[in-house]
Amino acid sequence: MTTYVLGQVTILDPIKWEIYCNELILTLQEWGGEMVFRGAQVDTLVGRSAGAASMVVTFPNRHSARHWYQSIEYRALLPIQKAAAEIQLNVFESDS
């Protein structure tokens, strides 16, 4: 079942954020992941926003998403990620 990782982001350092995102993309391929969307929030229509930017990554299944997150390659990016932004990652499975 197609799985999506939604990142809600508050960027702390735009330069480090770009470095993190570029490196992040390189960690996805082994697990069948693909960056679908990355962008800044421009409006909130209802409710409260969890961050000023969002990103969506798709995986073939939730196990691939979990293995990617636990991979040595992704874990090596965590120091950059923590300096670049505050991120909340949530995993969703598609109903369709």
Unique residue bearing structure tokens 């992704």: 74
Q: How does pLDDT run across 3-34, given as a tens digit for each residue?
A: 999 999 999 999 999 999 999 999 999 999 99
Domain ranges of the chain: 15-34+57-90
Q: Report phi then psi at 18, rounded to 5.
A: -65, -40
Q: How does pLDDT run across 48-78, given as a tens digit for each residue?
A: 777 789 999 999 999 999 999 999 999 999 9
Contact 5, 91 (CB under 8 A): yes
pTM, two decimal places: 0.88
Q: What is the pLDDT of residue 86?
A: 95
